[in-house]
Amino acid sequence: MNSNGDHGDTSHNSAWHSIRPWSPRFVLTVREITSVSATFLLSSTLTVNGHSDPSLASLGLTSASDDDDDDEDTGDDERLISETLGKGLSVNVNGAPWKRVLMRMDEDGDEAIIILFGLMPGRQYDIELGIVFGEGEEVIRGQMTTQPKEEHTTSTPPTADEESSSPPPSSSPPHQHTHQPTIEDRLAQLRHQLSQLAIERELLTQQLKSARKDSQKADASLRSEIDVLKRGAEKYAPAEHRARQKVLALQEAVKQASAAAAETEDLVRKLEEEGGEVT
């Protein structure tokens, strides 16, 4: 599976095709590449009866010609992507499985929008998509390079020499140079914002899951410490009870000994008194 061009062109209109001519061809069209993400459009064909797909035109993409599309049943094509992706999709980046993937079906046609995020700016990546189809797997391969990281520069006021050498401003009204955005530009901008929001939502979801896991781990650790303290208290409770019983027994023995000593002293005193009377 090779991309259009021999040097990994990153144009938004480049398309990667699967290499199995005996089965319906899948086309992966590069829609947008930023410094940290790449957006693709997966479809089974880019033309229907020789005319460009209006859903692709709304995305600002050009259709690739296919001579065999005129004889194929378009009804099967409309269900091919949705049925195929329901069986599974694997994504490898630089030969390793890539988990940071967002995917949704386009409501206007049988295409799927696939977004890879978490990429590094200004790097070349080998993308490989495995689509379960029939009894085997269709593999789409291609290369892409992310955009370099944007650098924000601050503008400095011109010096006196620059102001004197600069030509006078044009007297033409400013409205002649303004560009009115078209509906297609606005649609592309909204779709880009939607993609960015989806990426941010996915990142926040992952952060929330990570925070929940950390909280559960901390809760489990506290519960374990409480259980250890309870077991220790239960272990030493019988010994403490026996010690208290011994103390009570000793106190009772001391009382009895004191009472016996007092009785003995009284008996001795009585005997001494009786002996004195006899003498």
Compute the average pLDDT of residues 266-272: 88
Q: Which helix (H) or strand (E) holds 175?
A: none
Furthest-apart CA atoms within the chain: distance in Å: 153
Domain boundaries, the chain: 1-148, 187-269
Order of strands across the sheet that contains 111-117: 15-17, 27-33, 37-43, 111-117, 101-105
The two tokens of residue 151 are 């650098």
pLDDT digits (tens, 9 = 90+) for 214-233: 999 999 999 999 999 988 88
pLDDT digits (tens, 9 = 90+) for 127-148: 998 887 667 777 888 888 999 8
Fold that domain 1-148 belongs to in CATH: Immunoglobulin-like (2.60.40)
Task: Tell me the C-alpha distance between 3 and 28, whole Å.
Answer: 9
Specify whether the CB–CB gap between 93 and 127 falls below 8 A. Answer: yes
pTM: 0.41
β-sheet bridge partners, residue 86:
none
Neighbours of 75 (CB within 10 A): 8
Burial profile 24-51: b = 16 or more Cβ within 10 angstroms, e = fewer: bbbbbbbbbbbebbbbbbbbbbbbbeee
Q: Name the CA radius of gyration of the chain, rounded.
A: 42
pLDDT digits (tens, 9 = 90+) for 148-171: 876 544 444 454 444 444 554 444
Q: Which residue has the higher pLDDT, 9 or 86?
A: 86
Task: Tell me the C-alpha distance between 104 and 163, whole Å.
Answer: 54
β-sheet bridge partners, residue 141:
128
Q: Which helix (H) or strand (E) holds 79?
A: helix 74-85
3-state helix, strand, coil in the chain (%, to 5): 45, 20, 35
Task: Tell me the C-alpha distance between 211 and 214, whole Å.
Answer: 5
Q: Which residue has the higher pLDDT, 238 or 11?
A: 238
Checking 202-211 for CB contacts under 8 A at 24+ apart, the result is: 202/100, 202/102, 202/117, 203/117
Residue 9 CA, distance from chain mean position: 28
Using DSSP, state whether 61 is helix, strand or coil: coil
pLDDT digits (tens, 9 = 90+) for 38-71: 998 888 754 433 444 444 433 333 434 444 444 4
β-sheet bridge partners, residue 16:
3, 28
Helical segments of 152-278, H only: 160-165, 183-278
- Across 34-38, 100-104, 263-267, least confident range: 100-104
